[in-house]
Chain A
Amino acid sequence: MFTILDSSRKRGLIAAIGTLSIIGVILVATATACASQEQIEPLTVTKVADGTYAHVGAIALMSAENEGAIANVGFVVGDNGVAVIDTGGSVREAHRLLAAIRRVTNKPILFVVNTHAHPDHVFGNAAFAAPTVFVGHANLARALAERGPYYLDSFRRRLGALLDDVKIVPPTLTVDGETKLDLGHRTLTLRAWPASHSDSDLTVFDETGGTLFAGDLVFLQHVPILDASLRGWLKTIDELRRVPAKKVVPGHGPIADWPAALAPEQAYLEHLANDCRDLIKRGVPLAAAAQTAATSEKFHWELFEEYNSRNATAAYSELEWD
């Protein structure tokens, strides 16, 4: 609309710049500063159901380039306010999530729910503050206390200056078993699980929207990551499948039909368990076993090279005690 300036206006503009050059520079500088604060690009979110939204993260390792935005994050809107489910891998990402929320509603953020303690799900917590209630598994505070300082230190290499704003924010409301959060004519059912993907896994079931936020209990496309108990995770899958949801927002990978979304992950984990049991039985040492277990799954997953040996190491160490 303003691409063509008529010549008289152009001349006037040039004159103005000429006579008011110093003020002009100041104005431009001020405008730029305002722009960087106001024009936070909202995260792209998908409407999963009425009032239920999710952003699907990149299938990648956390980096400064992707702002740590590799995990799926989401929010549910009730009459009284909003529950945020996971805050992402940087405060920057969380601000972008908040910007996406503000496009949908101006209601207050009542709850921030963390599905577990890993950096890509909790590093954005500091973008929110009381009176927002931080909710997590009964083990979450312990996991964050033990691992938080290590994560802040080790992710400096990956995130650089993005890490400056990141703070470890522990839960103020913990879940042991099941808890319901009331958002106003919208109730979320939170369930704490025994050690599976991690030892602080928590799921959020939005009954009205028919949506399960599974955290990293469900992976699609992105190879599953084992950080607590393979046996526990396989048991959890059997129980989790009974949640009467229509759609799942996994921790990583696309929003999918429920419970069909569980099948690839279950196949991978069973493969990993069977291979490790066989290697243990044959007396193959851990270092060698880590290079071979579940390698037949390689072409079904992204980031397989980055995580499979690690999963095999953890699985072997656990199953050695069977």
Chain B
Amino acid sequence: MSYLRLRTVFTIGLVALALAAARHRAAAEAGDSWPDVARDAFNGRPLADGTGLIAIEMPARAEDAAIVPVTFRTTLPAGDTRVLKTFTLVIDENPSPVAAAFKVGPGVTMISTRVRVDSYTNVHAVAELSDGQLYVVQTYIKASGGCSAPMTKGDADKAKIGQMRFRQFAPSSAGIASGAREVQIMVRHPNNSGLQRDQVSLLYIPLLIVRELRVWQGDELALEMDGGISISEDPNLRFTYMPNGAATFRAEAVDTDGRVFKGEWPADQAM
């Protein structure tokens, strides 16, 4: 073994050790709920390392604990014909770790949303690709400092609950090349994670969240989300899709009170 090779092996070993130590510290700091959550949420199915196939982006520190942007992408190598089927977002140390589960239509390679982060935690993205396998990647996020809290910003304006906004974006350069486009759906909703009767103030704030949100392009499902209490107030999804020539987009949201909110918008063919 040449000196250079030896040194390389040694360096890799050191880096691996350092990474393992860092991971261990992170896990110790955050507690480690992942093995249990993974087993329960995915019925014990094996989770393969998704590095190089999928990616998750979050800031290193939650700026505002109530609104933490998270972006999931597929990063399949050129020529890989597999496509995304489902994506599940797990915030390990949140009170209800499975933040949301998505089913996707054609052309979804990116999903962006906003979540609440309660404490220092690992975050896992688990994706099922068209080969039927589950793949996982993870990141680590520090809880916010200061006075922000992972709750609604105030008493919601009840008259506005269920309002929807839909936005289509001009294609990015990558979008022009692939034919994919990007849209955003927003739903006014307190997404209140609920509160047991508080012994001091005697207040009780019931759980009230959007549990399903679906978007169709014509009659074809573009994206479906089963959401939990970790999704921020005013649920907000931005994602890619492949235009199918349909004239309209439709959206439907259902909350835990059984209320159904609907919207429909013309597809902007220029977008």
Chain A positions within 8 Å of B, measured between CB atoms, are 61, 118-120, 139, 141-142, 144-148, 150-151, 153-154, 158, 168-170, 195, 198-199, 225, 227-229, 283, 285-287, 290, 306-307, 309-310, 312-314, 317, 320-321
Contact = CB atoms under 8 A, between A and B. Distances in A.
A153 B31 CA distance: 15
Contacts of B33: none
Given A225-B147, A321-B186, A285 B112 contact: yes
B245 to A, nearest CB: 23
Contact of B151 (A146, A170, A283): A146
B153 A314 contact: yes
Contacts of A283: 167, 169-170
A321 B234 contact: yes
Contact of B69 (A198, A199, A285): A285
A146 B165 CA distance: 28
Contacts of A286: 67, 69, 112, 114
A92 to B, nearest CB: 19
Contact of A145 (B154, B167, B198): B198
A228 B66 CA distance: 11
A277 to B, nearest CB: 14
B159 to A, nearest CB: 13
A34 B169 CA distance: 70
B201 A142 contact: yes
Contact of A142 (B149, B155, B169): B155
Contacts of B145: 61, 158, 306
A307 B146 contact: yes
Interface residues of B, number: 42
Given A154-B119, A229-B153, A168 B69 contact: no
B118 interface: yes
A158 B145 CA distance: 9
A309 B200 contact: no
A310 B62 CA distance: 8
B203 interface: yes
B145 to A, nearest CB: 6
B69 A287 contact: yes
B139 interface: no
B67 A317 contact: yes
Given A306-B145, A317-B114, A145 B201 contact: yes
Most buried by A among B69, B119, B152, B154: B154
A139 B203 CA distance: 11
Interface string B91-104: 00000000000000
A199 B155 contact: yes
A195 to B, nearest CB: 5
- The 7 lowest CB-CB distance pairs between A and B, nearest first, are A199-B154, A310-B63, A145-B198, A118-B147, A287-B69, A147-B149, A145-B201
A141 B201 contact: yes
Contacts of B149: 146-147, 150-151
Contacts of B57: 287
Contacts of A119: 147
A146 B205 contact: yes
B128 interface: no
Nearest to B151: A146
Contacts of B232: 317
B148 interface: yes
28 contacts: A142-B155, A142-B201, A144-B200, A145-B200, A146-B151, A146-B152, A146-B205, A147-B149, A150-B118, A150-B150, A154-B119, A168-B200, A169-B200, A195-B154, A199-B153, A227-B148, A283-B167, A283-B170, A286-B67, A286-B69, A287-B71, A290-B63, A306-B146, A309-B63, A314-B66, A317-B234, A321-B165, A321-B234
Contacts of A306: 145-146
A158 B142 CA distance: 14
A218 to B, nearest CB: 16
